[in-house]
Amino acid sequence: MSGGTSSGAANASAQAFDAVRIGIVSISDRASSGVYEDKGLPALQDWLQRALRNPIDFEARLIPDEQAGISNTLIELVDAGCSLVLTTGGTGPALRDVTPEATLAVAHKEMPGFGEQMRQISLRFVPTAILSRQVAVVRDRSLIINLPGQPKAIAETLEGLKDSAGSQLVAGIFAAVPYCIDLIGGPYLQTHDSVCKAFRPKSAVRAR
């Protein structure tokens, strides 16, 4: 499944924001073979369109749990100019779960804090979150992050947990993504604070 689907800019004012190319990868033997409908790619695209103010060009892939194929796909997306690549699926302890190994194989730098925070968030809901093996890495000027397989868990780990009044209880991992991409030479990502407020040091905030 190839991408190139663009959300574009809804109006001329959106042109003030940097355009960004994002790779989204759903990894599943059964979904990629048509046994059931993939829900990972729609969940990723929906959340990113709600969270980011930037115009987005999506590169989407639906692939099986094959380590070499996953690594090759990640390299392809980085080489295609994706500043951010998000994967979903294949991060548990099952024999066919090889997404973390495939991701680490293409890494230039590991970013362990992302995986640690995702597990902290998921442990608020299920004790089996300790079985999750999500990792994040930098390759060239791209940040690659493994996410959980379920749409609900994807949203929870990206945006964090809020109380009934909307106050942040636990920060989601995406709050740190824009500044990380700044540091590796990518576009300046700006978020809708109501979904996920990006954090940057004051010295790194761009004047609007």
Q: What is the DSSP letter of 149?
A: S
Domain of 190: which CATH number?
Answer: 3.40.980.10
Would you state the structure tokens that stand for residue 56, as one six-digit string?
């987005």
Higher pLDDT, 31 or 164: 31
Tens digit of each residue's pLDDT (9 = 90 or more) over 100-135: 999 999 999 999 999 999 999 999 999 999 999 999
Taking the whole predicted model, whether its pTM rises above 0.95 is answered as no
Contact 52, 189 (CB under 8 A): yes
Number of domains in the chain: 1
Contact 145, 113 (CB under 8 A): no
Would you state the structure tokens that stand for residue 58, as one six-digit string?
């999506």
Tell me: pLDDT of 13 over 70: no
Tell me: pLDDT of 207 over 80: no
Tell me: pLDDT of 32 over 90: yes
CA-CA-CA-CA dihedral for 103, 105, 106, 108, to nearest 10? 110
- Does an H or E element contain 138, and which? strand 136-139
Contact 140, 78 (CB under 8 A): yes
Tens digit of each residue's pLDDT (9 = 90 or more) over 154-185: 999 999 988 887 778 888 999 999 999 999 99
At residue 170, the pLDDT reads 86
* pLDDT band per the 50, 70, 90 thresholds, residue 10: very low
Domain containing 141 equals 5-9+16-204
Report which of 142, 22, 24 is spatially closest to residue 78, judged by C-alpha positions. Answer: 142
- How far lies 13's CA from each of 4, 6, 111, 208, in Å? 22, 17, 34, 12
Tens digit of each residue's pLDDT (9 = 90 or more) over 130-147: 999 999 999 999 999 999
User: How far apart, in whole angstroms, are the C-alpha atoms of residue 148 and residue 176?
Assistant: 18
Tens digit of each residue's pLDDT (9 = 90 or more) over 36-76: 899 999 999 999 999 999 999 999 999 999 999 999 999 99
Q: State whether the Cα torsion 15-40-148-73 is positive or negative.
A: negative
Contact 132, 94 (CB under 8 A): no
Strand partners, 146: 87
SS3 121: helix
